[in-house]
Amino acid sequence: MRVNSGAYDAMLGRSYAQIARDGLRWQRSQGAGAVASRPGPQITFYKLLASRLATPLPKREDSFLDGLGEPAVNRGDLWKQLAAAHEAGADSRRIARLQEAVNKSWAIELEALVQPAQPITGMMAQFRPYETFTVATPGQAFDVALSFHSRLRDLRPARYELLAAAGWTVAEKSPGRFAVTVSDSAAPTAAFWTRDPVRDLTYALQDPTRFGQPLPATPLRARAYYRHEGVENFVEAIPLVSRIDTLGVQQLCPLVVGPALSTHFATEAGVLPLGRRRYALRAIVRNVASRAIGGTVKLELPAGWRSEPSEAPVLFQKEGEEAAVAFTAIAPLTASAADAVTATAVARAEGRAYRERFQPHTYTGLDTLYLLRPARHTIRRVDVKTAPGLRIGYIAGTGDDVPQTLAQLGVPYDLLDTAALATGNLRQYSAILLGIRAYAAREDVKTYNQRLLDYAARGGVVIVQYNTPEYDANDGPFPHSMGRNPEEVSEEDAPVTMLDPAYPVFGAPNRITAADFDGWIEQRGSKFFTTWDPRWKPLIETHDTGQAPQKGAWLVARHGRGLYVYCALAWYRQLPFAVPGVVRLFANLISQRPPATAAR
């Protein structure tokens, strides 16, 4: 069957192909939907593989609608089938499907709306969006109002019901309006599956009985019962809260329960070099509750460790407020070996302790899902050194947490903005480090690229992290190319060979060995060079299983009196998790000096 999805629809003003393309353009990953929609035919062919029709159609199908004819079941028949199913004691699943079919065919709906604490009144009130709380918390009280709608037949509800989880209090104040109090021990409405986002390949179900369910069970369900032709049916709804987004548009979302306070750290892990005892980190507390709340936050640390301050006060006036509290964790004097310890952020308020992050995840047009994760931070003690006198100029890219490692290594750095790239004194830096995708994300980097080349030519060190093919415009000192489909090595334990083990970057200030390539996560790197001028020197070779050897991951070139480096190893993946060998490699990378400069 030949289908032209590019056919123009006069009512829509576009074709279905254009609508589909515009929808695909909302996907922000993997370059999907980059091409704009265009008018014109778009032909697709479909082959009929199977049919449920008792007899074949008399002619070749011209449309997906051919052969459907009139609805197989009319509304009246549905009522009869529902009555027969009840009388025969059919299984609950069949009855539920018939109930849903009846409600949809008769356009019967139920609204269940959490009511605002202060309803909007006055002129045009019905056209003004109202706001409730976003997340219910244990012990909270609120009202839910139910509204029954029957648009094809004048049906009236016989009664309303609000079903709640164990421990909740529900009282009907008037027909369709209920007063609700959340149980003091109500569990958060969070995902019932968990996975370490980096190390685990599969999800673990916390409750195996929920296998196959798409979302966590709602704590409240509303019902309205009605009768027609002697048959009772009901329609269900999930109570909805109301919020107003940043555009001023009302968004109705399913009611969920969460802890009054949520805690987490600004980062998940970090480096404490051997020989140092003080480690800075920030604990973040967010007010989930829709009321003022005050308490304290502290760090739970292993025996022998302590923090400054030992605890700090937090005070919130309204929902959504956050407090970022700076702590310094101090290692014991006896801690000398490389190891890892865990810090936990614990907030206390109203007699309860909160040590988890209640984190919303959503996207336009989708429901919000909450994840509940322990508020932990790994402090990894690593035998790592950096060269003295370093000062880094950092050009931030996208999704880039690399600068935090500079701070943990004790290396001062400045974030370079457009003005610094245009006219700043670049010679004050021992190296200039470009963040991931900088050439794709920042026009100023491309505009002032020559200043970076000049800085290297005068004796500086330029280090470019992984970039996308936008970098192929000969932005380096000598020709290079990664092409439209750059190579990558996605096996985190892929073999790595140092092509010149005597090259200075592998020898100082940390002696790099094969062990430093152990324990990586997710991948080795991405967006490797595929061709390069002979003046580039490749430093390593790596490859996935069955892949040809890749030497375009890390290359260095002498440029004038300085060095220019392209290194597509996944620093941005490894450093936020403080992988020890990667930290040591990175310290050597930023400690490089051109040979002539080192000699002076």
- Give pLDDT, residue 72: 53
Residue 198 counted as domain residue: no
pLDDT at 188 over 70: yes
536 and 507 belong to one structural domain? yes
405 and 481 belong to one structural domain? yes
Identify the domain boundary among 364, 382, 400.
382
Confidence of residue 597 (pLDDT cuts 50, 70, 90): low
281 and 418 belong to one structural domain? no
Confidence of residue 358 (pLDDT cuts 50, 70, 90): very high
Q: Six-digit token pair at 422?
A: 């245009």
Identify the domain boundary among 349, 382, 415.
382
Total domain count, the chain: 4
pLDDT at 28 over 80: no
Confidence of residue 105 (pLDDT cuts 50, 70, 90): confident
- Give pLDDT, residue 290: 95
Residue 543 counted as domain residue: yes
Taking residues 585-595, report their average pLDDT: 94
272 and 224 belong to one structural domain? no
Taking residues 219-242, report their average pLDDT: 93
Instruction: State percent of the chain over pLDDT 90.
Output: 66
What domain range includes position 9? 2-45
pLDDT at 71 over 80: no
Helix, strand, or coil (residue 100): helix
Residue 493 counted as domain residue: yes
Residue 348 counted as domain residue: yes
Taking residues 136-150, report their average pLDDT: 96
pLDDT at 484 over 90: no
pLDDT at 595 over 50: yes
333 and 228 belong to one structural domain? no
pLDDT at 215 over 50: yes
How much is the mean pLDDT over the chain? 91
315 and 396 belong to one structural domain? no
Per-residue pLDDT tens over the stretch 456-471: 999 999 999 999 999 9
Which candidate, 392, 459, 433, places its Cα nearest to that of 597? Answer: 459
Taking residues 21-25, report their average pLDDT: 81
Q: Which pTM was predicted? A: 0.83
Per-residue pLDDT tens over the stretch 94-103: 888 888 888 8
Residue 373 counted as domain residue: yes
- Give pLDDT, residue 235: 95
Secondary structure E strands in 523-591: 525-528, 531-532, 537-538, 540-542, 554-559, 562-567
pLDDT at 386 over 60: yes
108 and 235 belong to one structural domain? yes
Per-residue pLDDT tens over the stretch 557-567: 999 999 999 99
Residue 507 counted as domain residue: yes
Query: In Å, how far from its chain's centre is CA 567?
Result: 26
- Give pLDDT, residue 598: 47
CATH number, position 440: 3.40.50.880
SS in 3 state form for 225-285? EEEECCEEEEEEECCEEEEECCCCCEEEEECCECCCEEEEECCCEEEEECCCCEEEEEEEE
239 and 310 belong to one structural domain? no
- Give pLDDT, residue 29: 67
Q: Six-digit token pair at 355?
A: 């040590």
Residue 193 counted as domain residue: no
399 and 378 belong to one structural domain? no
134 and 35 belong to one structural domain? no
Specify whether the CB–CB gap between 369 and 362 falls below 8 A: yes
Per-residue pLDDT tens over the stretch 279-328: 999 999 999 999 999 999 999 999 999 999 999 999 999 999 999 999 99
521 and 542 belong to one structural domain? yes
Residue 407 counted as domain residue: yes
Phi, psi of 114 (to 5 degrees): -65, 135
- Give pLDDT, residue 599: 38
118 and 136 belong to one structural domain? yes
- Give pLDDT, residue 600: 35
Instruction: State percent of the chain over pLDDT 70.
Output: 96
Identify the domain boundary among 328, 352, 382.
382
Confidence of residue 74 (pLDDT cuts 50, 70, 90): low
The DSSP symbol for 435 reads P
- Give pLDDT, residue 582: 97
Q: Of 544 and 55, which is predicted with more confidence?
A: 544
